Amino acid sequence: MCFSVMKAIAGISCNRKWLVVNMASKVLIKNPKNGRQAWFSLPLYFGKLSVIGLSGSYDEQIEIVDYEGDSFIGYGVFTVADLEQLNRQVEG
């Protein structure tokens, strides 16, 4: 059994083989209307966007400022509906 965890590089070492541990994907989303931003874990429940002053309506604009992990659709201005693509990447 392997118990040696190396968190600094998001992997574990077992019998000289490296197994990659999937890092949780996160995205830094900014509300372009008020400038508020926060990190959100994926998949994203759109109701959580209220933290930055959004209602979660699919027509609202958001700005993706930064990301961590494997899921990514790009930087810039998108609609909340575009975030469905990120959710599909994480769930698929």
Q: What pLDDT is stored for residue 10 in this prediction?
A: 42
Question: Tokens standing for 19?
Answer: 């197994």
Model pTM? Answer: 0.71
Q: Is 76 exposed, middle or buried (0-12, 13-18, 19+ CB in 10 A)?
A: exposed
Size of the chain in residues? 92
Q: What pLDDT is stored for residue 12 in this prediction?
A: 40
Question: Tokens standing for 7?
Answer: 């968190």
Q: What pLDDT is stored for residue 5 in this prediction?
A: 36
Using one digit for the tens of pLDDT, what is the confidence trace for 9-30?
344 444 443 333 345 789 999 9
Alpha carbons 7 and 10: distance in angstroms, whole number:
5
Number of H helices, E strands in the chain: 1, 7
Longest dimension (CA), the chain: 52
Q: What pLDDT is stored for residue 23 in this prediction?
A: 55
Sign of CA dihedral 60, 63, 66, 70: positive
Average pLDDT of the segment spanning 47-72? 91
With bands split at pLDDT 50, 70 and 90, how would you rate the model's confidence at 77?
A: very high
